[in-house]
Structure 1
Amino acid sequence: MIHPSYSELIKVVNQGAEDDETPVVSSRYSIVLATSKRARQLIAGAEPKVGGTHGKKPLSIAIDELYKGQVKIMPEEEEKGGEE
């Protein structure tokens, strides 16, 4: 079994959202996209933001970073706005 579970990750990511706002993440698909994007950044040479990464695969590190709140998922509108 994967730890943390998808539902635990979704709760952690949405924890900072206000009650009247739409949750940042509403599906497993969003979690998978976010962790895979961060894993690709790690493969490309980005420094891990958590300790104890020796021997771990990039995806495991990305999940750990997300679960510990070291990496934030930005809503799609904000992400696109910064690229232009």
Structure 2
Amino acid sequence: MLHPSYQELIDHINEVNREKNIPEINSRYSVVIAAAKRARSLIDGDYPTVPVKGSRRVLSIAVEEMKEEKIGILTKEAAKETATVGYDDMSVVDFSADIEEEE
């Protein structure tokens, strides 16, 4: 079971995005793709931005990073204005290319 739930995670991410005047995300797909991309970057050698105790799965680490506001999710609209987004101390997962492929 995913904790926090998808809806709790989406609500939390949108709360942060509203504070930063960034378009909100509105689907589980956004969270799943962002978590998968972050997990892949961890596998490829990026260091986690949250403390890791023991051997945790990279997907759990990615979700924890989203929950702890260590990474942010950009929508297609926000990705066009990356310089003004306001994720100063966060890594950003940009999945806009994936969205364009789906449309």
TM-score by length of 1: 0.82
Size of the alignment, in residue pairs? 80
- CA shift, 1:2, in A, is 1.6
Partner of 1:34: 34
Shift of residue 51, structure 1, vs aligned partner: 0.4
Say if 1:46 and 1:31 are closer, same or farther in 2 by CA, change over 3 A.
same
Superposition misfits of 4+ residues, deviation over 4 angstroms: none
Pairwise mapping of residues 30-69 of structure 1 onto structure 2 (< 5 A)? Answer: 30-69=30-69
How high is the TM-score relative to the length of structure 2?
Answer: 0.68
Pairwise CA distance, 1:60: 0.5
C-alpha RMSD of the superposition: 2.0
Gapped regions of structure 2 (runs ≥ 5):
83-103
1:6 corresponds in structure 2 to 6
CA deviation after TM superposition for structure 1 residue 52, in Å = 2.4
Structure 1: gaps (5+ residues): none
Q: Which stretch shows the higher mean deviation, 37-46 or 68-77?
A: 68-77
Question: 8 Å contact 1:39–1:59 — kept in the other structure?
Answer: yes
Instruction: Give 2:76's aligned residue.
Output: 76
User: What is the CA distance between 1:21 and its match in structure 2?
Assistant: 6.6
Identity across matched positions, percent = 41
